[in-house]
Chains A and B, each alone.
Chain A
């Protein structure tokens, strides 16, 4: 049991390390402190959102609306900061709006019983539309000094967004592994009916997961807006797919019930490193898409093979 578990949890880590070593040896300017910093910054938004996407997937659902919520969060933050000049409001208000988006998702999925794909496909469009409406269709520039603190300052040599991402990894790692909420989420995703009969409030858990997801996505949007000094209604296009890809790469099961924070971290980093290396190698943008897609397919295939292998092992000896 032990060695197998070790492989299942660290297998992807080994792949990642080997991958990085190969890149470091072959790609010029890859293994430099500046480049590493660049990679970390570039994955910070995906990384934060992946934390809560992990919960969504572990709970047996997924959320396509996060990209739009990132945009809405950024746009609202820009509007608020231009109006009030307050960093606190510029964070709080978007996060509350994100919570509402998430709650709506959760309500329709858990209470009304509409499937997560349809629900979040709908809210993805509604929220994107709202971001466009709120911004009047163009990006809103911000020239507030204190707002820039969120995205552009450094601490111990690393940019603040990176520290925020690390903080989120820690918080959600603890939440998943050490709290009732985390375990209940896994149980809900693993077997909803058994969870209900074990006295777990299934609907409440799901709504909480989506609400957190909305809040985190909106917050990530605020950080992004601070980094690029503007709230852009087109921000985060396709982000949901990047986030889900990162989670799947990290071994989170799309059928629910399985997922670890370490896996997600590695998944996020693999995505970032891949993207970065392709940039350094001057790979054409069109090729980048082909490669990213292929990597995802490969990851899902691996997950599938692992699943099959475990089914085979399960060979009920009745």
Chain B
């Protein structure tokens, strides 16, 4: 073994002010699933982008099957049999599965599309990745997990020998994840080399057989036999310090109800949903993707209209017809989709931070108070420990964890009574996660009611005082933290009886 089927040799890459990768070398064997882990900013994504041809390395080289390759563009990478599957998939939603799979090399005769040939080929290709869907179906109609399968099938038509996945499970439900893992197993068995980037240690240890750890752009560790290492060792290598219990739950004094949701029916919520959050309490909502969790939060926040039901804050019924009403009532929502719903990437940290609270802090309600905005942005950045060179920095240039902190800062500036957090730690590294948990406790300690929606069982169990389980648009059960366990929550969350969700 001279270092693997795919080999990175002293790869370095700098961006203005940052050394993203510093002489990184390691190899990935064929027939192996190789985990690539590291905190945000460790250089994983940069490495993947170099592998995919999106970036050029400053120095060093990539070796595939013993040959030095050089990728000037993504097409070169594809031709060399490299397929990188990103979180955001590169598919055309309005076209069929078959068309997507063969995009760029559609079966044709003299330029005329051979539909039947294409559909047959596509069906075979889909069978190979183990999914049964009609290849004529539009990609836009598929659940995310299936779209990933389509992406994999597409890669197989290019004779990809190397697959790299970038956080593929971050928006999948538990069932979809196990499906994806089956396919990755199959890729491994057919001798492909798989590079798997993830923050989730459970996944890494159940799926992968080799691991590489990056830290601050440097290679720190590679083990080709994953059983030779342990979770805690890997985590310690990632952060370079000891972390024991990342949740660090402490019980608190719990007061009067701050938020009462009574019999709310809205888009995505089939049965009247009721819940109460008390001052100082952290209430978790667990459920699979599509169970109505996000919809419930959006209804409470006035972002989705509700058909019936009422919202009470501090025992007073409030009319909430818009997000503005909700904010005035003391409700805040950190949305699930940071990029599309949370941040303004092209604007500064300061601007993002003050977007909402500036309404209450303007001269005569019209003119912006520059000094207050500056002060407030600095205050939140310091409080949340946002890692940014200045408050003038564009938020799009920060890491995921820091972007999330900026969104949190926006809401903390409003001093809300209740804060709704939708997947607050999705796609962010362990260090930043811990900081966000600490902040949640701090908020609760100060008497704010906190609602945490999460797909990560350990997170829900580790952080919340009380957990509501949602399934198919209804709240099915409420469980105290002392009675909850992973098995029970998952069992409640999984669809029962009729297999109506056949597509998933």
Contact = CB atoms under 8 A, between A and B. Distances in A.
Nearest to A256: B346
A248 B156 CA distance: 43
28 contacts: A178-B367, A179-B366, A179-B368, A180-B365, A180-B366, A186-B347, A190-B345, A190-B346, A191-B341, A191-B343, A193-B341, A194-B341, A194-B342, A197-B301, A197-B303, A197-B323, A197-B341, A198-B355, A199-B327, A257-B346, A314-B394, A315-B15, A315-B20, A315-B55, A316-B45, A317-B46, A318-B41, A318-B400
Contacts of A191: 340-341, 343-345
A180 B368 contact: yes
Contacts of B345: 190-191, 314
Interface string B345-382: 11100010001101100100111100000000000000
**Most chain B beta-carbon contacts within 10 A, residue among A191, A199, A258, A318:** A318
Interface in B380-414: 389-390, 392-394, 396-397, 399-400, 410
A147 to B, nearest CB: 33
Contact of B359 (A199, A258, A316): A199
Contacts, number: 105
B355 A200 contact: yes
A1 B350 CA distance: 15
Give the interface residue-count category, chain B: 35 or more
Nearest to B400: A318
B335 interface: yes
Interface residues of A, number: 27
B336 to A, nearest CB: 11
Contacts of A195: 344, 355
B16 interface: yes
B178 interface: no
B40 interface: yes
Given A178-B368, A258-B346, A317 B43 contact: yes
Given A1-B392, A199-B323, A317 B20 contact: yes
A1 B389 CA distance: 10
Contact of A314 (B326, B327, B356, B396): B396
A239 B239 CA distance: 59
A193 B42 CA distance: 30
A194 B406 CA distance: 13
A201 interface: yes
A195 B322 CA distance: 12
A119 B333 CA distance: 33
A258 B396 CA distance: 14
Given A180-B362, A199-B326, A315-B46, 10 more contacts: A179-B366, A179-B368, A186-B347, A197-B301, A199-B323, A199-B359, A257-B344, A315-B15, A317-B18, A318-B44
B481 interface: no
Contacts of B15: 313, 315, 317
A183 interface: yes
A94 to B, nearest CB: 26
A202 B18 CA distance: 37
Most buried by A among B323, B333, B343: B323
Given A201-B324, A318-B41, A318-B44, A194 B340 contact: yes
A1 B359 contact: no
Contacts of B18: 317
Nearest to A253: B346
A196 interface: yes
Contact of B347 (A181, A257, A318): A257
Nearest to A180: B362
B342 A197 contact: yes
B335 A197 contact: yes
A199 B324 contact: yes
Nearest to A258: B346
A187 interface: yes
Contacts of B399: 316-318
A196 B20 contact: no
B278 to A, nearest CB: 25
B344 A1 contact: no
B410 A198 contact: yes
A196 B366 contact: no
Contacts of A180: 358-359, 362, 365-368
Interface in A289-318: 313-318
A314 B197 CA distance: 20
A197 B332 CA distance: 9
B367 A179 contact: yes
Interface in A215-241: none
